[in-house]
Homo-oligomer: A and B are copies of this chain.
Amino acid sequence: MEQLIAKIKAIQAEVTAIEHAAALLGWDQVTYMPSGGAEDRGNSLAALSNIAHTKLTAPEIGEMLAELEPHIAELNPESDDVRWFKVTKRNYEKQTRLPAEFVMRFARETTIAQMKWQEAREKSDFSIFQPNLESLVEMAKEAAGFFAPYDHPYDALLDMYEPGMKTADVKAIFNDLRPRQVELIKAIMDSPQVDDSFLFQQFPKQAQWDFGMEVLNAFGYDFNRGRQDYTIHPFTTSFGVNDVRITTRILENNLVSGMMSTMHEGGHGLYELGLDPAHAYDALGSSASLAIHESQSRMFENLIGRSMPFWKHFYPRLQSYFPSQLGNVGLEQFYRAVNKVQPSLIRVEADEATYNLHIMLRLEVEMGLIEGKIAVAHLPEFWNSKMEEYLGVVPPDDAQGVLQDVHWSNGLFGYFSTYALGNLVSAQLWEVMNRDMPNLYEDIEKGKFYDLLTWLRTNIHNHGSRYEPQELIERVTGSRITPEPYVKYLTDKYSAIYKF
């Protein structure tokens, strides 16, 4: 048995090393690569991805897993070997259920669809993208079919990003959440609005960068084990547990955008830096799921980065970087401004109170498409009416409406929910953290994050993919993913800010 495990782990280790290489190629592509390098880069990425896929889907792995299964069944279910076997088998099945022919066809379709989506968004003309979206929806259904039987065809899509999560669970969570968020927004909108105009003066890039680095250092981001660079679209990537890189975008006429992006990616990066090095090259060494990942980024961005204790410490620092712009702006005034709620058209710019509604709208769309209840041709219409219903705003064109996100053109169905689930999880964890660390707020007020990071490492990061997301959250908080703490967090925060 040991031999079989070692053999599979050797393959996992080699593939991990190849995936790290591919991740670096992707990172360089959007940070330092000259424009001319695109075609050759595509060739290198395709070669690596092809090699990794071939190794991971080799039939001999399936045979070894089958041979292992009876032996594994006799072990302690909490042992590393059992946990490792479960994740390895799950991943192997996901990677092998889709036939090679489908994978290639899918790659071709998404390559074309991305170009069409880009063109459609530029011209704000949904009809350009419509036929491609139609075939991608058909392929999403086809993909789901390879995982039959299922309770709901959307289950298979969701499971790609949230192992073990069911469509019925997400629906139940969102149905509970939606009316309460809508009600909250209504209460906010009925109150006098906050002034945040001073956040949109000129803020030189270098000073914004330096402040961001100061915050990351305070969070405990170890720059011997990572970097931050500039990109148009911020992201986090990893080439090993000791080389985790984040990127940020800085807008000179918007202080919030870069600052929050830095903290958001910082949260993702800290998760990757906290994974267990002992499992760095096997199936237990990656993050638990996208929602758990997002819970970390949203925690640092929002629960910490938009909190009063945080700004008590950091606002004087920020003022010292921008004395002429912020010298006359008080702490309370600043705090209210970075928490301004304003229903808007674009998800990625949405505030904490409205963000989840953008996600819920997309889940409804995706499920409608997969169930065949919404025709792609009617999407713009459906989108706009839902935007009005949930957020009270109507996109003036499709570029700012149904065409705003890249995900569908990449064939990513089932992905969006993880953003909202991450928000809910962040608040669930936050409640427990405050119980476990009574001094948490005081620490943050002092710019101290050591205990906080240690807690996250011990309770979340270190476990990697050992537990499925629902299981992990239940172990840590005592309950599965639930909207209560998030709704309470939002209500407490905004009722104070908006005084209702």
Which residues of A come within 8 Å of B, CB atoms? 13-14, 17-18, 20-22, 24-25, 28, 32-37, 39-41, 43-44, 46-48, 51, 222-227, 229, 239-243, 280-281
Contact = CB atoms under 8 A, between A and B. Distances in A.
Contact of A17 (B13, B20, B44): B44
**How many monomers of this chain does the complex have?**
2
A18 B44 contact: yes
Given A21-B47, A34-B242, A41-B240, 18 more contacts: A17-B43, A17-B44, A17-B48, A18-B47, A21-B21, A21-B44, A21-B48, A24-B28, A34-B224, A34-B226, A34-B243, A35-B224, A36-B224, A36-B243, A37-B240, A37-B242, A39-B242, A43-B281
A223 B22 CA distance: 24
A25 B243 CA distance: 13
Contacts of A46: 17
Contacts of A40: 17, 20, 239-243, 280
Contacts of A22: 21
A225 B39 CA distance: 11
B21 A25 contact: yes
B18 A48 contact: yes
Contacts of A41: 20, 239-240, 243
Contacts of A229: 32
A222 B40 CA distance: 16
Contact of A239 (B17, B37, B224, B241): B37
Contacts of A222: 36
A241 B41 CA distance: 11
A25 B40 CA distance: 15
A223 to B, nearest CB: 6
29 contacts: A14-B47, A17-B40, A17-B44, A18-B44, A20-B41, A20-B43, A20-B44, A21-B21, A21-B22, A21-B44, A21-B47, A24-B24, A24-B25, A24-B28, A28-B28, A32-B227, A32-B229, A34-B223, A34-B225, A34-B226, A34-B243, A36-B222, A36-B226, A36-B243, A37-B239, A37-B240, A40-B241, A40-B280, A43-B240
A243 B41 CA distance: 9
A18 B18 CA distance: 10
A41 B280 CA distance: 13
A240 to B, nearest CB: 3
A76 to B, nearest CB: 30
Is chain A's interface secondary structure helix, strand, loop, or mixed overall? helix
Q: List the 4 closest A-B pairs by CB distance, nearest first.
A: A40-B240, A37-B243, A36-B242, A36-B225
Contacts of A14: 47
A29 to B, nearest CB: 10
A32 B226 CA distance: 10
A490 to B, nearest CB: 37
Contacts of A223: 34
A276 to B, nearest CB: 14
A413 to B, nearest CB: 30
The listed residue with most B CB atoms (<10 A of its CB), out of A13, A33, A239, is A239
Contacts of A242: 34, 36-37, 39-40
The listed residue with most B CB atoms (<10 A of its CB), out of A13, A36, A46, is A36
Contacts of A21: 21-22, 25, 44, 47-48
Contacts of A25: 21, 24
A257 to B, nearest CB: 24
Nearest to A50: B14
A348 to B, nearest CB: 27
Nearest to A14: B47
A43 B69 CA distance: 30
The listed residue with most B CB atoms (<10 A of its CB), out of A21, A35, A229, is A21
A24 B43 CA distance: 13
Nearest to A242: B36
A364 B344 CA distance: 76
Contacts of A17: 40, 43-44, 46-48
The listed residue with most B CB atoms (<10 A of its CB), out of A35, A40, A227, A229, is A40
A13 B24 CA distance: 20
A323 B20 CA distance: 47
A14 B241 CA distance: 28
Contacts of A39: 240, 242
Contacts of A51: 18, 51
A72 B336 CA distance: 78
The listed residue with most B CB atoms (<10 A of its CB), out of A18, A28, A243, is A243
